[in-house]
Amino acid sequence: MRGSATDPRPAPTRGRMRRTAGAAASAALLLPLLGAAPSAAAQDTGRLQRAFASAAADYHVPLSVLLGVSYLQSRWDGHGGAPSVTGGYGPMHLTDARAALARAPHHSQGAEDPRGDSARAALHPDTKVPDDSDLPARLKTLTKAAGLTGIPAGRLRTDEAANIAGGAALLAAAQKRLGEPLSADPADWYGAVAQFSGADDSGTAAAYANDVYAVIRTGEQRTTDTGQRVVLAALPRLVPHTAQLARTGLRHVSAAGTECPASVSCEWIPAPYAQFGNDDYGNHDLGDRPASQSIRYIVIHDTEGRWDGVINLVQDPTYVSWNYTLRSTDGHIAQHVKAKDVAWHAGNWYVNAKSIGLEHEGFLASPDAWYTEAMYRASARLVTYLAAKYGIPLDRQHILGHDTVPGPTTAAVPGMHTDPGPYWDWRHYFELLGRPFEPTAGANGGLVTIRPDYAANRPEYTGCVTSGEPCAAHGSGEVRLYSQPDASSPLIKDVGLRPDGGASTTDVNDVGSRAETGQQYAVAGRQGDWTAIWYLGQKAWFQNPAKQPTAVDAVGFVVTPKAGLDGVPVYGRAYPEKAAYPADVPAQEVTPLPYQLLAGQKYVVGDAVPGEYYYSVTFTTDTHRVVVGKDLYYEIQFGHRVAFVRAADVQVRPSVL
C-alpha cells in the first residue's frame, strides 16, 4: 500500500486480540538462523560498547544478555531518537506508544480492490479502524524504565546510553520478580528475557527468548547507524535454563490450526469466508492449492497500521484479506487464511491466485518507524518454511514486495501499491533466509544484482510527511535510475504510471525510476562509476562506484524479441488463450500493458509458466474452475515490477557478454 503523506504514525486502537502461541522452548529452536559467527577475540572500545558494559555492571545483568536483547530489538541502532512502528525508542526499543503514535490512516484506507479480478465487481468496504483504547503493557515499557531508573522519559527516548540503562533495569526487575538472583551466568536469565518481550503468552515469549539466545550463542558484530562498532562475543556452548518459563505465569495456548514452523509463535485468527449479500462475499476465496494450482509467490507487505487495528480489519468479511500478519514488538504471527485458499492482498488476481501474502507491522513512508529484528527473523523463518513446503525459490522473482507486483491491466498500473517501500532491508532479509546476494560472475556475466550497502546508501526521497518535502535521511535498499550517466539528468520515465509522459519523481511512493536490492537486470553499458541496465524499454543508468558498489555481477538467462520483431507486448498477468476456456467460464482478455520489450534489449528471465486463470466469482464453490492454457509465458524483471511476455514472442539466451 502507499505510505501516508500527512502523518505516518498510527493511532492506538481498540479490539486487541488475544494471542495464542507455539510450542515451548526446545533445543531445536536455539539453532542459529545465521551460520557464521564473529570472532570472540574481536574488541571494541567505542562509546556504545562502553554504554552496554556500564549498564550491565550497574544493574548486574550479564553483558551478553543485554547485548543479545538489544540486538533482537534494534540491531543496536538508535534511529536518531525516532520511534518504531510500535513507539519503541533507542537500542533497547523501549516503548512509549502514547507519546509516539498520534494518528494515521488505516490499513489500505479501504479505497481499493486488492482482489484484482475484473470478472467480479470491486468491494466497497466501510470498515473503520477502532478508536483509541488502553495500550497493552508491551507498548509502555519506557515509562516503566523511567520509574526504575529515575531517568526522565525524554532522555530515555533520545540518549542511547540512558536507553540502554533503562533496558538493563527492566531486565533486572524481571529477574527479581521471578525470584532469581542477579547472576553473572547468562544461562540464568532465560525467564527474564522471555518477559522482556512483552508477550502475554508463553509461546511468544519463548520464541523471542530463543532468538535472543541464538544470537548470544553465535555472536554478532556490526557498525550501528551512528558509526559505533559493537561486538557480542559468541558463547556457542550456552544452554539457557528454559524451565524458568513456567515461573513467568504466562498463559499457555495452542497453535492448533496454524501453518507455521515450530520456531515461531503463531496463532489462528481466521479471516471470515462469509456471504453478506446476493452477490457479495468475502474476504477470500476457497481453493485447493497446491493440488488445483501451484503456489509460486510469497508477497511481502507492510500494514500501514498498528497490529490491533489491522487484526480487526482482516476479520471483517466486507474487507480484504491476507494469509499472515507479523507483529513488530516480538515477531508474533497471526494466520488468517489457509495456504490452500486464495487471499485478496496483491491487487492482481493472477498473483493472488498463486501467492501467499505476509503483512508486517510497519509504515513504508516513515523511514524511522523501523522494523525490529524480532519481526525480520520471524518472517524469515516463516518464509523459509513456506518456500520449502511449496517449492518456492528464494529469489526476488518469487519473494516479491507488494511494490513489485505488476498492474494486471493498463488502467490498474497507476494505482498499484508501493509497500514495503525503500526502507525494507532486503539485503539483511535474504541473509536471514540463507540466500545472501553474492556475485556469481565477473564483469562479463551480462547481469547485475542490485545490492547497495543499506546503511551507507541514502538516496533522497520526498513526501514521507508532507508532499514534496524531503524525507529524513535514512539507509535504503534502492538505487535511483537516470536517463544518462549523470545525476543531473532526467529520471527514467514510466509511461504506465504517467500515460501523459510526465516525469518520474523522488516521491517515496513513486517506483517509476527505482531498482531495489536483489533484483537482477541485464547490463546495457558501463561508463566510469555508472552502470546501465535495460529497464521499462529504456537504458537506465545508476551510480555504481568501484569503492562503494551498489550492485554485484551475475550470470543467467535473458529474453529478447525473436528475429524480425521490432518489439513484443508485455503483460501484467499470464492468462490463458481464449480457446482454453470451457463454455461455462467467461474468457478473460489477454491485454498488454503500455510497454514494449524492444529489439536489441534484454531482460532477466524467470520461470516459464502456462497461462492460468482461477475463475471464482460466487460464494458457493461448485462453479469455481482453474483454467490452464497451452500458451507459455516467461516472467521477466522488466522495471521495478515483474512482468510477463509470451514465450512465442521471444528467445532465451545466456546473459554472458
Residue 12 has pLDDT above 80, yes or no: no
**Record: fold of 27-248:** Lysozyme (1.10.530)
Which backbone phi and psi does 614 adopt, to 5 degrees? -100, 110
Task: Name the residue ranges covered by the structural domains of the chain.
Answer: 27-248, 561-654
Query: Which three-class secondary structure state does DSSP give residue 478?
Result: strand
The residues pairing with 222 across neighbouring beta strands, listed in sequence order, are 230
Looking at every residue in the chain, the average pLDDT score rounds to 89
Q: Are strands 642-646 and 625-637 parallel, antiparallel or unpaired?
A: antiparallel
Q: What is the pLDDT of residue 276?
A: 85
Which residues lie below 8 Å from residue 277, measured CB to CB, with a gap of 6+? none
CA distance 80 to 90: 8
CA distance 398 to 519: 11
> Among 60-64, 121-125, 245-249, which range has the highest average pLDDT?
60-64
Shortest CA distance to 205 belongs to which of 240, 162, 165? 240
Average pLDDT over residues 235-259: 92
Show the beta-strand stretches assigned E in 520-624.
520-527, 530-535, 538-543, 551-554, 557-561, 567-569, 596-598, 603-615
pTM of the model: 0.90
Q: What is the pLDDT of residue 45?
A: 52
The percent of residues in the chain predicted with pLDDT above 90, rounded, is: 76
Average pLDDT over residues 70-77: 95
Q: Render pLDDT for 317-370 as a digit per residue (tens, 0 to 9).
A: 888 899 999 999 999 999 999 999 999 999 999 999 999 999 999 888 886 677
Count the alpha carbons within 13 Å of 19 in the hemisphere toward its beta carbon: 26
The greatest distance separating any two alpha carbons of the chain, rounded to the nearest whole angstrom, comes to 80
Q: Distance of alpha carbon 111 from its chain centroid, rounded?
A: 22
Angle between helix 63-74 and 202-218 (nearest 10): 110
Higher-confidence residue: 96 or 520? 520
Higher-confidence residue: 299 or 5? 299
- Count of other CB atoms within 10 angstroms of residue 222: 15
Q: Render pLDDT for 577-618 as a digit per residue (tens, 0 to 9).
A: 999 999 999 999 999 999 999 999 999 999 999 999 999 999
Q: Distance of alpha carbon 499 from its chain centroid, rounded?
A: 30
Average pLDDT over residues 508-537: 97
Shortest CA distance to 230 belongs to which of 370, 84, 451, 74? 74
CA distance 224 to 302: 24
The residues pairing with 301 across neighbouring beta strands, listed in sequence order, are 359
CB 114 within 8 A of CB 122: no
Which residues lie below 8 Å from residue 82, measured CB to CB, with a gap of 6+? 89, 368, 369, 370, 472
CA distance 108 to 650: 37
CB 568 within 8 A of CB 595: no
Q: Render pLDDT for 139-179 as a digit per residue (tens, 0 to 9).
A: 899 999 999 999 999 999 999 999 999 999 999 999 999 99
CB 625 within 8 A of CB 585: yes
Average pLDDT over residues 51-75: 97
| Degrees, nearest 5: CA angle 349-354-358 | 90
